[in-house]
Amino acid sequence: MKFKIINEIFIEAINNVNRALSNKTPMPILKSVKIDLTNEGINLTASDSNITIKQFIPTFINDKQIIFVEEEGSSAIPGKLLQEVLRKANDEFVELTMIEDKLVHINFKNAVFTLNCLDVKEYPNINLISSNQPIIVDSKKLSEIIRQTVISIATSESRPILTGINFKVQDNILYCIATDSYRLSEKIFKFDNEITDINIVVPGKSLLELEKLIQSKPGEIKIHLSNNIISFEMDNLIFQSRLLDGTYPETSRLIPKEFGLTLGFNRHELIDIVDRVSLLSKEGATNIIKFDVYEDKTIISLESTEIGKVVEEVHPLSQEGSLLRIGFNAKYLLDALRILDDNIVKIMFTGEVRPFIVKTKDESITQLILPVRIE
């Protein structure tokens, strides 16, 4: 294998696929990026066996020659190191030459790097799934769906299914749900076209990586599904993840429909207050914030026997319903407020020990938080 390539384009592609690399893989070969070179272009593959990312770089882009192929072939090159070398290369082009499947020379300007490689034949065969009828979503919309729900996935592995996001399609409506059983995020998205019903759970970690990858890539994403794999296909780029096994808990009845009290706040102002009040929870054990709702004001407070306490008075923009005293994890509210987009936010309560929801005028997104019993 021997080729020369415009370094800027090579780096971008390596940056993309390297998101799949993990330092903790039990298979050393999976620390490599697989390079398959033909006269048509380069296929790059990286995988940690849960996530696989594949990118194609065509030889020509808009009639401009990107790659100069001297000898077709395949290789497996240490991924992180290759990325660092390319980043520090002070030349427009870099040249890669494979020597007996064991060494790669990377040449540019006055430098030659010689990196030890593992045999590309050891690289596992990773099947890419495909289907005739992919689900099509806009990348910006998918990014929003992930961003607004992923905050509620479980970080502990005690119930593995809760570390994923549940994607359920029913009657052409997509319900995305994440919950760690203390809070829940639900995002609803209506398809314009006919979609087969599905009910799958995608690992939160995979979706976080996917979100970073698509953030800056506008366009259409084709979603393919198999038994245990989901694949997101963009221009020359494929992101594939294993699905989580198991049945996601039924959550639809958790979200209350009727409310005894609704408070309206300026979202940024409330973020500042909750953030400030949370100062006392950082070093202490407790993270329980209290809302005491009076006729003319709401008192937000947090107390830590060790450190002290903080009390802040706020005048809601709107208030409707009966008075209430409720306590809950300040971090949950902060997370929910931060991923919402509107200036105005509504907090809707049903009772002291009943879940409450945080909403904006965007009806598609619901954040639910379970309170804790306070004295």
- The Cα 93–Cα 62 span in angstroms is 18
What's the min distance (Å) between Cβ of 217 and a second copy?
28
Question: What values do phi and psi take at 266, rounded to 5?
Answer: -75, 125
Q: Which of 98, 225, 237, 310 binds a second copy (CB under 8 A)?
A: 310
Q: Is 144 helix (H, G, I), strand (E, B) or coil?
A: helix
Q: Which of 141, 212, 309, 354 binds a second copy (CB under 8 A)?
A: 309
DSSP for 233-299, written as a single string: EETTEEEEEEPPPS-PPP-TTTS-S--SEEEEEEHHHHHHHHHHHTHHHHSSS--EEEEEE-SS-EE
DSSP for 55-106, written as a single string: EEEESEETTEE-EEEEE-EEEEEEHHHHHHHHHH--SSEEEEEEETTTEEEE
Is residue 111 within the footprint of a second copy (CB under 8 A)? yes
Is residue 78 within the footprint of a second copy (CB under 8 A)? yes
| Residues ≥6 apart with Cβ < 8 Å to 295 | 323
Residue 103 or 255: the one with the smaller Cβ distance to a second copy is 103
Q: How many of the other CB atoms lie within 10 Å of CB of 289?
A: 25
Give how far Cα 264 sits from Cα of 147, 267, 314, 315, Å: 23, 9, 11, 9
Is residue 116 within the footprint of a second copy (CB under 8 A)? yes
What's the min distance (Å) between Cβ of 94 and a second copy?
12
What's the min distance (Å) between Cβ of 101 and a second copy?
14
Residue 162 or 334: the one with the smaller Cβ distance to a second copy is 334
Site string for a second copy, 79-98 (x = CB under 8 A): --x--xx--xxx--------
Q: Which of 72, 92, 275, 341 binds a second copy (CB under 8 A)?
A: 275
Is residue 255 within the footprint of a second copy (CB under 8 A)? no
Is residue 307 within the footprint of a second copy (CB under 8 A)? yes
Residue 65's identity, in one-letter code, is: Q
Considering only the stretches 104-112, 139-147, 218-226, 228-236, report the one whose residues sit in contact with a second copy under the rule CB under 8 A.
104-112
Contact by Cβ (8 Å): 233, 221? yes
- The Cα 57–Cα 48 span in angstroms is 21
- The Cα 282–Cα 279 span in angstroms is 6
Number of helices and strands (H, E) in the chain?
7, 28
Q: Which of 194, 283, 296, 375 binds a second copy (CB under 8 A)?
A: 283
Is residue 272 within the footprint of a second copy (CB under 8 A)? yes
Residue 181 or 301: the one with the smaller Cβ distance to a second copy is 301
Residue 173 or 311: the one with the smaller Cβ distance to a second copy is 311
What's the min distance (Å) between Cβ of 309 and a second copy?
5
Q: Which of 30, 162, 177, 280 binds a second copy (CB under 8 A)?
A: 280
Contact by Cβ (8 Å): 175, 185? no
Considering only the stretches 48-56, 91-99, 123-131, 303-311, report the one whose residues sit in contact with a second copy under the rule CB under 8 A.
303-311
What's the min distance (Å) between Cβ of 17 and a second copy?
20
Which residues are near a second copy by CB under 8 A?
Answer: 78, 81, 84-85, 88-90, 103, 110-116, 272-273, 275-276, 279-280, 282-283, 306-314
